[in-house]
Chains A and B, each alone.
Chain A
């Protein structure tokens, strides 16, 4: 983004190694496999970085459907994609962790959550925990990388932004606030190469006991606005969510924090 600011750094340490974790997306209407929207935005973010060397990494099954989706990422202008092949039902976190600790990228970018499968959004956290790297969520942009420190722009609700600095290596995730992905071109997509990488396959034991069903749209909590005029209604609609009933806990022990959360979940009838 800022070539001047970055030039000395890039010269000093060569190109910035970036890995983007990409998953198989699922079109919300037709369920067809595609590039996952957030992951593709992650790729776009990586491509906007000055002097970066980008590796695309996917861990999973390679079949006709997933290949089409993965080629969608290649069509953004890549010659190859690293494919950590995993059997169906495998837990991809150990595999990704081993691939990443081997490749040693400075920055790992990925989407907030997958469009299918568990889609829990936990992968970046678990990966960060395993690698011992910091992790920042909800990025709108990476402003610069200098002397091993990245300046990030994090997106907050209602268009607010927060500038953060993080020491690399780090994992960052992007959501809809990052720039939309560029068009995927058919020619490069089908010419691109899938480079197979070896990694241990660890079966996800827990998933055996699960019943999986299609997700439904979560009901939204209704906000009841008693407003006399259109102006009031507009203000109510545009107002910041007010944490009226909440409390900010700082400098508390983990136990106290956990207790407070547990209490809240009880109150909200999430836990019974």
Chain B
């Protein structure tokens, strides 16, 4: 009986899957066009899956092995099953291979089941809780029905009751695995995920690359509405990306805004976009909600607004404004979903079309438009802090090795200390540098992240025009935000530069023997990775190298390097200031406290400001430039009086 039933079951499941796939593709195609190389993408997909995706998944070894067994077993079993049971090609080795594949898959599903027994809060429940059972149903039933095929059991083994029971389980397994894959079950992630990898908007991310700069918004056509208002305003491959989410909650676990109790959960946000794409309410969402926002009150449809001007739609505006753009979610997401792009796309609409940037947002943007700096200071006073330093200005010298980009920290008394320290270091190393002085403008970072692409592009274009007048080898800056924007976001507008963060540049100077340090005498030190230096630009080592050169042993925080927790200062978050239960910088200073460090080294004016704003902090906050400037000794002195272990070698040679 089974022999006749199986092909029918298999092919009807496949048929339904194809119909589902077509419907799903139609949902994605509601999005705006986005040209991607289709065939090249499909060809690259297996490698992207096996290498890039598993590089992220592999951060959790058990889960990674579980996934390899389950998914690998499934793909193999599915193909073989179609051959063996669907087409009746049971001869020889195929049947045995199918037995092995389904056995592997079964073992994998046991691990899935184990993990689902006490699932961590970040995992979604609901339909996902039945997945291990479905996986087992599929693998076990396939295994059993294959036993008679290969002759281990007689073909007429058991009664018809057994056959019916087995057929029922096969149907369940097939239903979940084939039908559910394209009709919106948990297995959807496999179908959407594979295509998402193939048609990813940032193909540069695969093969060890990096692509973190926001994509420019085309402002040429005054008729079009700017940014994303409705789910169908996303590009089709963004929608596809949202659909690939496995609801693993890794993004939720690392999101600083979620941890602070602000109304944002990146996982829920992606799920809401899926709800919007298909139309309906979020009532079926079975994971952690946005803090303090009950599930079931929001709804959307593909052509309806995501954020309502008044009342509720799919997402509340404050959810979008809570994000610090720290990119921790993107870094953790095994499906390589781009949360930050989506959030900024939606913010663009709110700012450019609604004129609804919350709290100080409007004021900051007005200041940027009128005075080219967010604080609304007189642009001619940009260099007041350096009145006594006699800095070479590009307008006079026309060229220099290094163009020192000061950033808006030039108006901030705290950051002026860092800048003075950096100048001391550059002079100590005899670097030929110059500044733009009053010709410098805000880089546009904050305007862009507040969604004001127009102001960003206006600032960027004027900065590029200014920079094009002078000759320099490289730009050095102590502000990772300017660094990122100059390095990764000006290119699309025609400005291509070699840009260095000051820590990288100082590390280089030290290695070249142009800087000499007195040994460190202070206490324990930890280092806070700025998001825009670390995750955005992959620079984790240089700051640590500089600290090591100073003789400092960095006591790492639990969350450091690519897992560093944001200080709360990025993405205009301090400007939009969405309330939560605690403050992000307080949490970060707690991380510092746990290391027992007396001092935390930072490399970003924004981090400095955020962390120094924490009351009753247990550690002092110093920029790397300040630490270096304090330890600086002239070369002659370093030779004559070696004072620490670091220079003992020199002593021996000299005496």
Q: A32-B370, A191-B223 are in contact. Are A183 and B379 (CB under 8 A)?
A: no
Checking B362, B370, B452 against A186 with a beta-carbon cut-off of 8 angstroms, the contacting residue is B452
Chain A residues near B379: list those with CB within 8 A.
29-30
Q: Is the CB of B356 within 8 A of A183?
A: yes
Q: Is the CB of A187 within 8 A of B370?
A: no
**CA–CA, A182 to B354, complex, Å?**
10
Which A-B residue pairs are the 8 nearest by beta carbons?
A185-B355, A183-B362, A183-B355, A187-B353, A27-B370, A186-B454, A186-B352, A29-B378
Chain B residues near A191: list those with CB within 8 A.
222-223
Q: Is the CB of B226 within 8 A of A186?
A: yes
Mark contacts of A64-100 with chain B using CB atoms, 8 A cut-off: 1 yes-contact digit, 0 otherwise. 0000000000011100000000000000000000000
> B371 an interface residue at 8 Å Cβ cutoff?
yes
> A34 an interface residue at 8 Å Cβ cutoff?
yes
Give residues 7-42 of A contacting B (CB, 8 Å): 27, 29-30, 32, 34
> A134 an interface residue at 8 Å Cβ cutoff?
no
> A184 an interface residue at 8 Å Cβ cutoff?
yes
Give residues 449-503 of B contacting A (CB, 8 Å): 452, 454-455
Chain A residues near B356: list those with CB within 8 A.
183, 185
> B557 an interface residue at 8 Å Cβ cutoff?
no
Q: Is the CB of B353 within 8 A of A185?
A: yes
Mark contacts of B353-369 with chain A using CB atoms, 8 A cut-off: 1 yes-contact digit, 0 otherwise. 11111000110011001
> B102 an interface residue at 8 Å Cβ cutoff?
no
Chain B residues near A30: list those with CB within 8 A.
370-371, 378-379
Chain B nearest CB, measured from A30 CB (Å): 5
In the complex, 25 of the A-B residue pairs with CB atoms within 8 angstroms, ordered by the A residue number, are A27-B370, A27-B371, A29-B370, A29-B371, A29-B377, A29-B379, A30-B371, A30-B378, A30-B379, A34-B370, A76-B355, A183-B356, A183-B357, A184-B355, A185-B352, A185-B353, A185-B354, A185-B355, A186-B226, A187-B226, A187-B352, A187-B353, A188-B355, A190-B222, A191-B223
Chain A residues near B223: list those with CB within 8 A.
191
Chain A residues near B325: list those with CB within 8 A.
none
Chain B residues near A76: list those with CB within 8 A.
355
> B376 an interface residue at 8 Å Cβ cutoff?
yes
Closest B residue, CB atoms, query A26: B370
Chain A nearest CB, measured from B454 CB (Å): 4
Chain B residues near A75: list those with CB within 8 A.
355
Chain A residues near B443: list those with CB within 8 A.
none
Chain B residues near A188: list those with CB within 8 A.
353, 355
Chain A nearest CB, measured from B142 CB (Å): 56
Chain A nearest CB, measured from B320 CB (Å): 16
Chain B residues near A29: list those with CB within 8 A.
370-371, 376-379
Chain A residues near B378: list those with CB within 8 A.
29-30
Give residues 352-404 of B contacting A (CB, 8 Å): 352-357, 361-362, 365-366, 369-371, 376-379
Chain A residues near B455: list those with CB within 8 A.
186
Chain A residues near B211: list those with CB within 8 A.
none
Chain A nearest CB, measured from B351 CB (Å): 7
**CA–CA, A29 to B377, complex, Å?**
8
Chain B residues near A32: list those with CB within 8 A.
369-370
Chain A residues near B365: list those with CB within 8 A.
183
**CA–CA, A60 to B189, complex, Å?**
60
Q: Among A27, A75, A183, A184, which residue has the most Cβ atoms of chain B within 10 A?
A: A183
Closest B residue, CB atoms, query A29: B378
Give residues 105-163 of B contacting A (CB, 8 Å): none
Mark contacts of A174-202 with chain B using CB atoms, 8 A cut-off: 1 yes-contact digit, 0 otherwise. 00000000111111101100000000000
Q: Is the CB of A182 within 8 A of B376?
A: no
Chain B nearest CB, measured from A41 CB (Å): 14
Q: Is the CB of B225 within 8 A of A187?
A: yes
**CA–CA, A187 to B379, complex, Å?**
27
Chain B nearest CB, measured from A93 CB (Å): 29
Given contacts A34-B369, A188-B355, A191-B223, 14 further A-B contacts (CB under 8 A): A29-B370, A30-B378, A182-B362, A183-B355, A183-B365, A183-B366, A185-B353, A185-B355, A186-B226, A186-B353, A186-B452, A186-B454, A187-B352, A188-B353
Chain A residues near B452: list those with CB within 8 A.
186
Chain B residues near A34: list those with CB within 8 A.
366, 369-370
**CA–CA, A185 to B223, complex, Å?**
14
Q: Among A30, A32, A77, A184, which residue has the most Cβ atoms of chain B within 10 A?
A: A30
Chain A residues near B351: list those with CB within 8 A.
183, 185-186
**CA–CA, A212 to B354, complex, Å?**
40
Chain B nearest CB, measured from A140 CB (Å): 21
Closest A residue, CB atoms, query B379: A30
Closest A residue, CB atoms, query B355: A185
Closest B residue, CB atoms, query A187: B353
**CA–CA, A188 to B223, complex, Å?**
9
**CA–CA, A19 to B352, complex, Å?**
26
**CA–CA, A185 to B451, complex, Å?**
11
Closest A residue, CB atoms, query B224: A187
**CA–CA, A187 to B453, complex, Å?**
11
**CA–CA, A39 to B399, complex, Å?**
46
Closest B residue, CB atoms, query A31: B370
**CA–CA, A187 to B365, complex, Å?**
15
Chain B nearest CB, measured from A15 CB (Å): 21
Chain A nearest CB, measured from B239 CB (Å): 23
Chain B nearest CB, measured from A185 CB (Å): 3
Chain B nearest CB, measured from A35 CB (Å): 9
